[in-house]
Structure 1
């Protein structure tokens, strides 16, 4: 269950700077040229309604980047600010994106997490992935 003051919103390109800053602060997060603003804008346009942020007050404290190729879903860059971990935010973001994938007829999803990302792998194990 999300904290009472948290809200999940569709990610918009206007969120990019704050989202990217959170990604940069997250150990184990692999970033590349594909994560430049213009590429994320294309991704969000192509995959409308699948990527989300979690906000508390006016601060972005969680993200999920999600898309599909028409057959399979793909999840990238699930992160929650360190001080908010363990409060159901990551799980809430994942559930929202998976729900939207299912609404689009996508029932199988792949996720990307580096083998040495201890925190990320622990999160995914806790969700049953």
Structure 2
């Protein structure tokens, strides 16, 4: 059995360890403690963790721009996968977004992360083929 709760800044070390030990996840400067605290403060009550047996076993970060929601870093420890935890975390985020009147949500998956792509498609998410995402990084901040 697992328990879901809102992610807090105090969860950072455990979430970071989860990210570091999950294949397909890329850590950037934007994943620093300070940046994560800013993200949680800007999107209060929208990111969640799952715990079992006193251990943090999963997380998801969720935010919005006022019109669209965004999910990031949905991670579940391997021993706890296929138990509905990822689905429960995602649904919690989508419910919070809906309460804010936001009914469309996006997420990014690295093209090399076929396991994640398969998961999301199996959950009813649609791979967009009509748009490309462009990013700008200030010179000197290549790991932003």
1:66 match: 62
State the TM-score, normalizing by the size of structure 1. 0.94
Residue 120 of structure 1 deviates from its aligned partner by: 1.2
Q: Which has the larger radius of gyration?
A: 2
2:79 match: 83
Distance in 1, matches of 2:119 and 2:19, equals 16
Residues 1:29 and 2:25 aligned together: yes
Aligned residues: 125
1:106 match: 102
Distance in 1, matches of 2:66 and 2:124, equals 24
The 4+ residue runs of structure 1 with deviation greater than 2 A are: none
What root-mean-square deviation, in Å, do the aligned CA atoms of Structure 1 and Structure 2 show?
A: 0.8
Distance in 2, matches of 1:97 and 1:117, equals 22
Q: What stretches of structure 2 of length at least 5 have no aligned partner? A: 126-144
